[in-house]
Structure 1
Amino acid sequence: MRNPHIEAQATSHTSAKPHAQGPISHLSPRWTANLRTTSQQDAASYGASGSFEKKSKRRVSLTQAMQLTKEDEVAAGGEENEVRREDQDKINRFSRLHQKEKALEEELKTKQKDKEDLEEVSTELELVDEDDKVPYKIGDAFVSLPQPEVLELLGTNTEAIEKEVSILEDKLSTVRDEMDELKVALYARFGRSINLET
């Protein structure tokens, strides 16, 4: 009768190529040969020494090392979570805030442009002689007013717009802060299965 250990060692010298795939490919040729020999021998007689059981456990552990645990899959967004009522409320709230954010951005952009225009006109009027009359729009009509008076009116309008700009910026900041909080909660819940980037 052949000694399995001798046959295993002989195989390790003649077989230089490991298996092309599977966890066994990471083992040495001698270990691969031992596994082959084990599969050809009587499991009961070979297991008496404890070697077969030890090698089987190692083979299983190598296979398990190549797989994500259930917890890892959940953490990586590998499983879809059920959308609860509170989750849907947060998603709807985020959508409404996103629309509000866009509206505030447009309004803020318009106010900032008005402010820039007033500042530009004020700069140009400073070059005008104080005795000159300057047409100034009040409602739908233009009224000719002295240059100093027009500059004063422009300054008042500029201050009013600056306040409006400041209010809009505060509102926009509040909206974005709440959106960020919702992002944190929803990404923690759904991971990569939800996209809230705008």
Structure 2
Amino acid sequence: MSLQMLPAGQETSDVQVSWEDQQRINEFSKLNSRLSELEDLCQKKRDENDYLEDVGTEIALVDEDEVVQYKVGDSFYWLKQCEVAEKLEKQTESATAELNDLEVKVQLIKDEMDELKRVLYKKFGNSINLER
């Protein structure tokens, strides 16, 4: 028999962890990791959107007939301001759509995690910590 000290105020729990419970805990862990990845991607997309909006504002200040540099990959091309403005608008729309898709995925994962939390906290109470 081994003795173990618990933190002050915490009582022992004799709740058995079933195979199904362990699967729920594992699923919660996977979702938590995926949520962190998606939140990082969302932040990068928000930053990209902000950058594209700033560039679009600056390009709008340039005369339409003026030629400006436009970056594609690692190369810069000289294009008319109106062409660059169109390309930036398309990029901004694409980045916004990607961000919206990511935010939907984040919400779906959060909903699934909330359901798992509800089930697991119901069974284990304070014996389990599912907070980030």
Q: TM-score, normalized by length of structure 2?
A: 0.89
In the alignment of these two chains, the number of paired residues is: 123
The corresponding residue for 2:127 is 193
**Quick check: 1:183–1:196 contact (8 Å CA) kept in 2?**
yes
The corresponding residue for 2:63 is 129
Q: Percent identity?
A: 46
The one-letter amino acid of 2:62's match is V
The one-letter amino acid of 1:188's match is K
Q: Give the drift of 1:80.
A: 2.6
Q: Does 1:89 align with 2:18?
A: no
The one-letter amino acid of 2:86's match is E
Q: Does 1:112 align with 2:39?
A: no
Q: Give the drift of 1:132.
A: 1.1
Q: Give the drift of 1:182.
A: 0.3
Q: For 2:15 and 2:56, how far apart are their aligned partners in 1? A: 59
Which residues in structure 2 correspond to 1:154-169 (within 5 Å)? 154-169=88-103
- Farther-moved stretch of structure 1 (136-145 vs 172-181): 136-145
The corresponding residue for 1:140 is 74
Q: Give the drift of 1:129.
A: 1.1
Moved over 4 A (4+): none
CA displacement, residues 31-56 of structure 1 (integer Å, 9 cap, x when unaligned): xxxxxxxxxxxxxxxxxxxxxxxxxx
The one-letter amino acid of 1:164's match is E
Q: For 1:190 and 1:80, how far apart are their aligned partners in 2? A: 10
Q: For 1:80 and 1:194, how far apart are their aligned partners in 2? A: 12
Q: For 1:168 and 1:109, how far apart are their aligned partners in 2? A: 10
The one-letter amino acid of 1:102's match is S
Any gaps of 5 or more consecutive residues in structure 1? 1-76
Which residues in structure 2 correspond to 1:33-112 (within 5 Å)? 79-112=13-46
Q: Does 1:182 align with 2:128?
A: no
Any gaps of 5 or more consecutive residues in structure 2? 1-10
Q: Give the drift of 1:98.
A: 0.2
CA displacement, residues 137-172 of structure 1 (integer Å, 9 cap, x when unaligned): 122210110101100000000000011001100110
CA displacement, residues 76-133 of structure 1 (integer Å, 9 cap, x when unaligned): x763300000000000000000000000000111011001100000001111111211
SS in 1 for 2:114: helix
Q: For 2:56 and 2:31, how far apart are their aligned partners in 1? A: 37
Flag the structure with larger Rg: 1
The one-letter amino acid of 1:79's match is S
The corresponding residue for 1:46 is none
